[in-house]
Amino acid sequence: MLSGITIGYIGHFDPGYARNRVLIKALRRAGATVIPISDQRRFPRRAPRLARAAATTGVDVLVTGFPGHSDVGAVKLATAFRSVPIVFSTLTSNWETETDRHGIRRNSVAGFRYRLTDWLSCSLADSIWLDTRTHIHWFAREFGIPDTKFQRVWVGADDDVMRPAPRAPAEQFTVFFYGTFIPLQGIEHIVEAASLVGAQRDRIRFVLCGDGQTFAQVQGLANRSPRANVTFLPRRPPHELSQLIAQSDVCLGIFGTGEKTQRVIPNKVFDALACARPVITADTPAARECLVDGRHAWLCPAGDPDALAAAIVKASEDDAGREAVARSGHELFRRRFSIDAISRDVAPLIHEVLGSADPATAGDHPPLVSR
């Protein structure tokens, strides 16, 4: 599909950036030669090295991965004389992340700078890959970018690492969550749900893995809820997360009440599907783009610990239903969110940005990638 095409991939490649790892593997599996280009220093200190690498490395396409908002302009300038097309694969708005997570006022000078970075990176890129159609609509409207520049490319999961494994016998029903402790996740609602199922604390336990902005608040809430059977674990590398997921009975997604929750499907949902574990996550427009409630996952209202607690108790009492959802969710993952599936989606997008036809798919129906 992409044989003979060389792609320079600019981004962070440590374990925390699963999106970049998945896309690199997908592009390589599609037949492309992928050259990683990385500099861990903050912008603008990394700009000269990235621009020099982009200008001197013989590539057909440059993909600027997450979080590379500021890098798009540097590599665009460096490659202008060669007209190398640039794909911007982003997960979030820099402006939204900095104002929501770090308390920067949206109408401040810093807020304006981050918003300008979002607009400039999207304006300069030849193609923009985002995770859901709902997110694409928001980006196009918020920053005035033509929606024809966007393509939906699922986040997916690294199924070389996240894969099914036998569930060891356990006395307690384990509910597992992992992620950065930020408002998007709505982890406080998980702790409240744990308190609501407290009468079954000897049967149901919650394991929360990660750290971040709201960790102290969430831990304090758990400590003040003696009925909640909650264990906290520090952040774990992907191979250990895979084991924790596999040994869980139910995995949790996100439950925050902010606008962004409505637009994204987080890594943890795809990881659980990859490991063939049943998932409960918020019922949002983004989730509804691919998940059918009660078939691929259980969807419940965001910010509603009562509904979450009821869903967990129901799942704990229905072994057959739990296994059916896990099996159906995993089948969906293999068809649409695995590395193989994503490689089939991104190959025609690379040909499109190059203005060429993919000889392997010429005459076929358009790929299952929606704008």
pLDDT tens digit sequence for 216-225: 999 999 999 8
The confidence band for 16, taking pLDDT boundaries of 50, 70 and 90, is low
Q: How buried is 43 (Cβ within 10 angstroms: 0-12 exposed, 13-18 middle, 19+ buried)?
A: middle
237 has a pLDDT exceeding 80: yes
| Domains 6-156+338-354 and 173-335 are alike in CATH topology | yes
Segments making up each domain of the chain, as ranges: 6-156+338-354, 173-335
Topology (CATH level 3) of domain 173-335: Rossmann fold (3.40.50)
Report the pLDDT value the prediction gives residue 41, as an integer from 0 to 100: 86
Overall average pLDDT of the 104-123 stretch = 90
Amino acid at 132: T
pLDDT tens digit sequence for 44-91: 888 888 889 988 889 999 999 988 899 999 999 999 888 899 999 998
Pairing of strands 127-130, 279-282: unpaired
Query: Taking the chain, what is the end-to-end CA distance rounded to the nearest angstrom?
Result: 21
Residue-wise DSSP of 309-345: HHHHHHHHT-HHHHHHHHHHHHHHHHHHTSHHHHHHH
291 and 254 in contact (C-beta within 8 Å)? no
Overall average pLDDT of the 251-262 stretch = 96
Q: What is the pTM of this model?
A: 0.93
Amino acid at 265: I
The confidence band for 360, taking pLDDT boundaries of 50, 70 and 90, is low
pLDDT tens digit sequence for 288-333: 999 999 999 999 999 999 999 999 999 999 999 999 999 999 999 9
Task: Give the rounded percent of residues in the chain with a pLDDT score beyond 90.
Answer: 75
Report the pLDDT value the prediction gives residue 343, as an integer from 0 to 100: 98
CATH superfamily of 6-156+338-354: Glycogen Phosphorylase B; (3.40.50.2000)
